[in-house]
Copies of this chain bind each other. A is one copy, B any other.
């Protein structure tokens, strides 16, 4: 079941079989046919590990995301998976669940597997671990995160703009007090979206500091419901809520509706990501749309270019722009 058996059956040397597998153009048509039928006859499949060991690099990439349960990331993953598999790469998936320890475990696995490259949406801002990968010759592309230095690739969506759009929209609806329901402070997206929100307030002649922030430990629907409970327990509800993602927003929405609060009558609500389910919710959700699938594809494109053409590869920082999607949940 090895390349040697194929070689024996086809009456050639192992080297020729290897050539058929890796550089078919280098081998004469007739012998190529002979080898290929031998391969089929024996049901031979290349031993990826042996190949990796010898060649010094594998045909796999690692993908580390923050929450595989979030449709935003599954859309990204779909983009990654599609392009990678078109190019003959396998994807090893790692879900960090927002935990730094899990993220590090995943990166270790990637390093052990000698993946060709890593796509990562980092769960915090510490660049050290990634540099460690790069030192090992593993290409790294940041996904949904701007580059930290010019000598690296990154693909992101402008979160400051997105936050600005969201709050500008709330203000245009006449919102007075606005609160920002956010995720862990360590997540850059949350900070950037807040920054944009603050700028929108400033642009409207108001004090950015009046934006009240409620930082939840996770960005899930359950956390959103929790946030709603906290808001309801406070003195007065804000006029409008900007949630750092749609999962939070959907949870908040549920919590508010269950308490008899009307959306958008009593409170306007806007989410972020425009996941598929945002338009299907009880009160359809206004949101900030991101080109999610494209994000994954673009990141993979950069990564594979860096892997396959290291000589000509030029590091790039791609920045997509978000869109405002207005639905029922905002006035």
Contact = CB atoms under 8 A, between A and B. Distances in A.
Interface stretch (A68-76, A140-148, A174-182): A68-76
B221 A280 contact: yes
A81 interface: yes
A81 B68 contact: yes
A92 interface: yes
Given A81-B93, A113-B60, A132-B43, A280 B250 contact: yes
A315 interface: no
A112 B48 contact: yes
B95 A81 contact: yes
A204 interface: no
Contacts of A277: 250, 277, 280-281
A254 to B, nearest CB: 6
A300 B276 CA distance: 29
A49 B58 contact: yes
B78 A69 contact: yes
A53 interface: yes
A91 interface: yes
Contacts of A74: 68-69, 74
A109 interface: yes
Interface in A77-98: 77-78, 81, 85, 90-95
Interface string A274-293: 00110111111000000000
Given A91-B93, A111-B45, A280 B281 contact: yes
A81 to B, nearest CB: 5
25 contacts: A43-B132, A45-B136, A46-B112, A48-B112, A49-B52, A49-B58, A53-B53, A60-B92, A68-B81, A69-B71, A69-B74, A78-B95, A81-B93, A85-B102, A85-B106, A85-B109, A90-B109, A91-B92, A92-B92, A221-B276, A250-B280, A254-B280, A277-B281, A280-B280, A281-B281
